[in-house]
């Protein structure tokens, strides 16, 4: 083949007039067409004239062009392209350094798992609203007696009766007494938790029976009809959810009760009770017994303080007829505080602790990433020298961090969920059974924010460094120390110092709480608790009606127990 | 649309070429498309100058391809019209059509 290269002078001329940012494309486009024409067998003369013609007519338009390239428009497609590119690049570089990637992912997984687990608990306890209409109106009320050294003494029925009668703050008030029944089902006796409730409890909670009806005021009187409402779980378990249970009788402590209704699932909130029976008491019975718990629904707009003032007025007005009310006084509090208040401090402290663990993990990762970016500073220097925008490099580093964060968050979420389940399995009796710790949108959102936050925290320092690199410094310093790397080393030291500080705080806090627990364990109960077993027996009042029969039963029972091998002593 | 957004004749031709070539629009194909259809000599420098003007106005975006996977393979600069570019083109063409409306221009030209 003959000489098929474009005329050199013409090409040089063109390259002189076309702005730098487009030069290569213009020249190579023209080369391509030139080669096509040559391949078509055009004469040298034709080819040269064609090329010179192109150059000549390109001169003026090219000379008129601005010398700086147009700004890249931030169109969606451009952004998406760069994001996809960055994600791909991130995967490539991370796969090239699997040790770094795996270390970071592992640390993040642990950090995020801890946070997700504790947050699930916090969410289940305090953030998820109670499953009742207007849960904010529900309050717990009780009596307190500082003079007896008791924070809560329980409700006495005469006080409740007066409060219910005369208050101006509540829509409804109810009291409950938790109890247990010996239930005979298919010839087999079972111990079932239940609650004796006043008839208005369903109205207070705003629940409707899924089947049948609520307890009526007539049934809630001494000598009233014996009726029972079944808890939803109990109904499913023992009756297979059959609707024809209504009207059947259930044997509780040897007495027949007519089944009048089935409670909705959320009613387990009350004492985990599987059965509700009427309290059926009045002011004349046990006026000096404080044993019940109160649940009330405030009128819209009434504050807890106003309700307390209202009840205190009624309570103290009774002193003349009921002198003990001098000692006792009402307390009112949000329902969750009463049932879960003791967990709040613990879970909040745990949340703080796991947060700090994640922060330490982030500091660790930031240190690793920074060390890595020192190793990569040559790459960054070259990219900057070739005209990469600093913003793009920072974006690239952020993307790498985000990819790592997401890779750590997914297993973290799963591990956190498993940890929550395991934790709950370890302490089944500690929490009321109506509390669930399912993953909900709050937990996922929390983890998502946490991931973003973590990525931001551990990527910020390296990203800032990379985008502030000075090209010449980096390229010259590829072999050894320079001010550039010295600066990075200083940040690295700062990170390590911060990390140690955080770890120290965590250590101190953990140490203190361990001490607390030890103190608790050391409290001497006043007796030797080793090798002592306790249990409860409930005698059906039908067969063991009076005290004589009770005493006779236990005397015989204890004899039998004492005669067992391995029993040193027994008492009741 | 502002007055300054009116597209010149060559700008319209370049945008039309981009629409025709879809995702195969780079210097060579654009130049050939216009030259082939308009039957006039088109300089590569003029094509690039116009494309850059359109890009600055936001009517065109460019992207640089990866090098072709052959020895000595090169990167190409591809151009795509934006929605704003398509809208500006439509606007300019409508204006020309409205100017010509009712005139027996086309048929006269055909006769001559």
A33 touches chain B (CB under 8 A): yes
Separation in Å, CA of A10 to nearest CA in chain B: 13
Q: Which residue has the tokens 């089947």?
A: A211
| pLDDT tens profile A263-282 | 888 776 666 788 888 888 87
In angstroms, the CA A342 to CA A347 distance is 9
Scanning every residue of chain A, which has its alpha carbon at the shortest distance from the alpha carbon of B41? A54
Residue B112: pLDDT band (50, 70, 90) is very low
Give A497's DSSP letter: H
In angstroms, the CA A328 to CA A146 distance is 8
Q: Mean pLDDT score of chain A, rounded to an integer?
A: 81
pLDDT in the model for residue A55: 95
Q: Are B11 and B54 in contact (CB under 8 A)?
A: yes
* β-pairing verdict for A255-262 and A329-334: unpaired
Q: Which residue has the tokens 């995967």?
A: A91
B46 vs A75: CB contact, 8 Å cut-off? Answer: no
Question: Which candidate in A30, A70, A78, A88 is best for mutational testing of the B interface (most B CBs within 10 A)?
Answer: A70
Lowest mean pLDDT among A132-146, A226-240, A421-435, A501-515: A421-435
Give the residue from A563, A559, A560, A541 showing the smallest Cα distance to A550: A541
| pLDDT tens profile A433-454 | 666 677 788 888 888 888 888 8
A75 vs B82: CB contact, 8 Å cut-off? Answer: yes
DSSP alpha helix (H) spans, chain B: 9-21, 27-38, 44-57, 83-100, 105-111
Chain A CB contacts of B52 under 8 Å are 22, 65-66, 70
Helix (H) / strand (E) containing A310: helix A304-317
Binding-site residues on chain B for chain A (CB distance < 8 A): 26-28, 31-32, 41, 43-46, 48-50, 52, 55-56, 58, 61, 63, 74-77, 82
Chain B CB contacts of A65 under 8 Å are 48-49, 52
Q: Are B20 and B32 in contact (CB under 8 A)?
A: no
Q: Are A176 and A300 in contact (CB under 8 A)?
A: no
Q: Which two tokens stand for residue A484?
A: 């550039």
Over residues A212-240, mean pLDDT: 87
Q: Which two tokens stand for residue A561?
A: 């127990």
In angstroms, the CA A565 to CA A186 distance is 33
In angstroms, the CA B22 to CA B24 distance is 6
In angstroms, the CA A524 to CA A526 distance is 5
In angstroms, the CA A198 to CA A5 distance is 103
Tell me which of B37 and A511 has the higher pLDDT.
B37
Chain A CB contacts of B46 under 8 Å are 57-58, 61
Using CB atoms, which residue from A26, A33, A60 is nearest to B48?
A26
Question: Which candidate in B49, B50, B73, B75 is best for mutational testing of the A interface (most A CBs within 10 A)?
Answer: B49
Among positive and negative, which fits the CA dihedral A518, A523, A527, A529?
negative
Count of residues for chain A? 572
ipTM of the complex: 0.90
In angstroms, the CA A232 to CA A486 distance is 69
The three-state secondary structure class of A179 is: strand
Scanning every residue of chain A, which has its alpha carbon at the shortest distance from the alpha carbon of B54? A70
**Angstrom distances, CA of residue A560 to CA of A190, A428, A557, A572:** 22, 32, 5, 13
In angstroms, the CA A160 to CA A315 distance is 9
Scanning every residue of chain A, which has its alpha carbon at the shortest distance from the alpha carbon of B73? A28
| pLDDT tens profile A180-215 | 888 887 777 888 888 888 888 888 888 888 888 888
Using CB atoms, which residue from A14, A57, A81 is nearest to B46?
A57
Q: Which two tokens stand for residue A275?
A: 């059965």
- In terms of phi and psi (left: phi > 0; alpha: psi -120 to 50; beta: otherwise), the region of A354 is alpha
| pLDDT tens profile A142-188 | 888 887 877 788 888 888 888 888 888 889 898 888 888 888 877 77
| Contacts of residue A474, Cβ cutoff 8 Å, sequence gap at least 6 | A377, A378, A380, A381, A384, A484
Q: Which two tokens stand for residue A326?
A: 């001098």
| pLDDT tens profile A23-55 | 999 999 999 999 999 999 999 999 999 999 999
Separation in Å, CA of B23 to nearest CA in chain A: 14
| Contacts of residue A230, Cβ cutoff 8 Å, sequence gap at least 6 | A239, A245, A250, A259, A261, A262, A263, A274, A275
Q: Which two tokens stand for residue A196?
A: 């004796």
Q: Are A59 and A12 in contact (CB under 8 A)?
A: no
Q: Which two tokens stand for residue A48?
A: 């040269």
| Contacts of residue A203, Cβ cutoff 8 Å, sequence gap at least 6 | A171, A172, A174, A214, A297
């Amino acid at each position: 083949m003959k000489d098929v290269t474009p005329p050199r002078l013409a090409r040089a001329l063109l390259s002189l007039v076309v702005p730098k940012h487009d030069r290569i494309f213009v020249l190579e486009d023209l080369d391509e067409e030139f080669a096509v024409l040559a391949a078509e067998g055009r004469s040298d003369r034709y080819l040269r004239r064609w090329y010179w013609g192109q150059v000549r007519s390109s001169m003026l338009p090219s000379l008129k062009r601005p010398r700086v390239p147009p700004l890249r428009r931030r169109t969606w497609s451009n952004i998406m392209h760069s994001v996809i590119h960055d994600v791909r690049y991130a995967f490539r570089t991370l796969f090239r350094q699997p040790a770094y990637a795996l270390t970071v992912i592992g640390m993040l997984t642990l950090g995020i798992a801890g946070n997700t687990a504790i947050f699930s608990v916090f969410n289940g306890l305090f953030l998820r609203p109670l499953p009742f209409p207007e849960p904010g109106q529900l309050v717990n009320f009780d009596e307190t007696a500082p003079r007896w050294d008791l924070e809560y003494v329980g409700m006495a029925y005469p006080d409740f009766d007066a409060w219910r009668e005369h208050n101006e703050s509540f829509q409804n008030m109810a009291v409950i007494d938790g109890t247990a029944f010996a239930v005979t089902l298919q010839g087999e006796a079972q111990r079932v938790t239940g609650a004796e409730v006043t008839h208005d409890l369903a109205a207070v909670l705003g629940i409707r029976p899924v089947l049948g009806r609520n307890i009526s005021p007539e049934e809630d009187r001494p000598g009233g009809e014996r009726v029972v409402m079944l808890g939803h779980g109990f109904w499913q378990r023992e009756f297979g959810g059959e609707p024809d249970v209504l009207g059947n009788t259930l044997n509780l402590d040897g007495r027949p009760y007519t089944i009048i209704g089935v409670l909705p699932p959320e009613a387990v909130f009350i004492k985990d009770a599987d059965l509700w029976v009427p309290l059926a008491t009045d002011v004349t019975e046990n006026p000096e017994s404080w044993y019940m718990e109160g649940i009330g629904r405030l009128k819209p707009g009434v504050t807890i303080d106003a309700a307390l003032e209202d009840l205190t007025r009624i309570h103290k007005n009774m002193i003349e007829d009921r002198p003990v009310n001098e000692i006792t006084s009402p307390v009112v509090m949000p329902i969750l505080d009463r049932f879960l208040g003791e967990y709040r401090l613990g879970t909040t402290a745990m949340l703080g602790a796991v947060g700090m663990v994640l922060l330490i993990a982030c500091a660790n990762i930031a240190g690793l990433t920074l060390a890595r970016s020192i190793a990569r500073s040559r790459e960054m220097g070259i990219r900057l020298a070739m005209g990469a925008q600093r913003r793009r490099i920072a974006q690239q580093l952020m993307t790498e961090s985000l990819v790592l964060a997401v890779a750590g968050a997914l297993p973290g979420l799963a591990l956190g969920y498993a940890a929550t389940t395991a934790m709950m399995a370890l302490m089944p009796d500690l929490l009321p059974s109506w509390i669930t710790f399912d993953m909900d949108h709050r937990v996922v959102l929390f983890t998502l924010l946490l991931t973003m936050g973590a990525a931001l925290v551990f990527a910020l320092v390296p990203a800032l460094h990379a985008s502030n690199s000075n090209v010449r410094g980096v390229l010259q310093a590829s072999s050894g120390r320079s001010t550039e790397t010295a600066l990075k080393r200083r940040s690295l030291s700062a990170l390590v110092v911060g990390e140690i500080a955080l770890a120290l705080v965590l250590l101190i806090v953990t140490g203190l709480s361990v001490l607390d627990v030890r103190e608790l364990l050391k409290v001497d109960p006043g007796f030797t608790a080793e090798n002592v077993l306790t249990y409860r027996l409930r005698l059906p009042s039908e067969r063991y009606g009076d005290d004589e029969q009770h005493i006779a039963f236990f005397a015989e029972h204890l004899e039998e127990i004492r005669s067992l091998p391995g029993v040193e002593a027994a008492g009741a | 649309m502002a007055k300054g957004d009116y597209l010149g004749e060559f700008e319209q031709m370049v945008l039309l070429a981009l629409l025709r070539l879809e995702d195969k629009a780079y210097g060579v194909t654009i130049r050939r498309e216009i030259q082939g259809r308009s039957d006039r000599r088109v300089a590569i420098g003029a094509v690039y100058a116009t494309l850059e003007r359109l890009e600055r106005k936001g009517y065109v975006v460019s992207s640089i391809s990866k090098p072709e996977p052959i020895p000595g393979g090169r990167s190409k600069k591809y151009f795509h019209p934006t929605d704003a570019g398509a809208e500006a083109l439509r606007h300019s063409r409508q204006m020309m059509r409205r100017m010509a409306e009712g005139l027996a221009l086309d048929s006269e030209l055909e006769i001559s």
